[in-house]
Chains A and B, each alone.
Chain A
Amino acid sequence: MSAGQAATYSGLIKQIDRTIPGGHFRSEKLRVAVERAATEAPKTRQDGKRAFRKAKFAKKR
């Protein structure tokens, strides 16, 4: 996704968040919870592979 597309898309998602009716979670609390989950969630196999490739490339250079 290019930077321009990402910006348009980000606006679209914000709009959707405002339009969802009801709900009990407070936005700020939810944002912090998602950020924390994204940082602390266990790494996937794909993440491991990516890290390995990165390290290998750095070593070669």
Chain B
Amino acid sequence: LRKPPAKSVFINCPFDDRYLPLFRALCLAVLARGRIARCALELSDAGYTRIERLRRLIAGCDLGIHDISRTECSPLPRFNMPFELGFFLGAKGFGPPLQRKKKTLIMDRRRYRYQRFLSDISGQDIQAHSDGPENVVRIVRRWLVANTAPPHPSEAFVLRSYRNYRRWRPRILAELGSQRPDFSDELRVMTYSLKETLKRSRPRAPRRRDRDGRPSR
């Protein structure tokens, strides 16, 4: 068994095209904090059952971000997200001491909407993203600041990185000749966008001043 990366965040959200902008925003906010986003998309080992692979994935992540906003029927509702949330909370509640340190962020479209379909999680602080990718970036960044050790990039930097990534992505993929990269490649494109944004926003050297303290030309 390959040892999972120590600093990883389990992402439990829909993977359809409509949710894709929010999913990308979520992954970038996680990477911007120096953590690796992991999700069911990377489960491809046919040697284990899906639930076993999921169990291993959850066991390897100390943080979990869950989005339970997808409740529409098409034609039936998807129960994977609430199920994986329950799985994660179960590991936190009944697991060995290391698993009990898990931290969870739960997001929905509107703040109290979950009470109509998942009232068992009442009392937990559910965050509302209103289907806005930049709201997701803000919520995830704020939560990671509260639950991880520094250094913490500023909100302005993470948002700028996200906007740059969104702007640069089509050109990057066109140059690399890949229209639909897999999950790992998408994460690497995000990481390189973060690097480039950081390179472009490096603080300038302080301006030289003359004897009177005025900036020299």
Contacts and interface: CB of A to CB of B under 8 A. Distances in A.
B189 A34 contact: yes
Interface residues of A, number: 35
Interface in B162-217: 163-164, 167-169, 171-172, 175-176, 178, 181-182, 184-185, 187-189, 191-196, 198, 200-203
A34 B192 contact: yes
Interface string A27-51: 0011111111110111010000000
Contacts of B184: 20-24
Given A16-B31, A20-B187, A44-B167, A38 B182 contact: no
A37 B194 contact: no
B167 A19 contact: no
A13 B75 CA distance: 42
A58 to B, nearest CB: 12
> How extensive is the interface on chain B, given as a class?
35 or more
Interface stretch (B15-23, B98-106, B119-127, B150-158): B150-158
Contacts of B193: 34
A57 interface: no
6 cross-chain pairs, A with B, having the tightest CB-CB distances, nearest first:
A37-B171, A23-B184, A37-B168, A12-B34, A22-B184, A33-B175
Interface of B: 2, 5, 7, 31, 34-36, 42, 151, 153-154, 157, 163-164, 167-169, 171-172, 175-176, 178, 181-182, 184-185, 187-189, 191-196, 198, 200-203
Given A6-B202, A30-B172, A34-B172, 6 more contacts: A22-B42, A22-B184, A32-B175, A33-B175, A34-B196, A41-B167
Interface of A: 1-3, 5-6, 8-10, 12-17, 19-25, 29-38, 40-42, 44
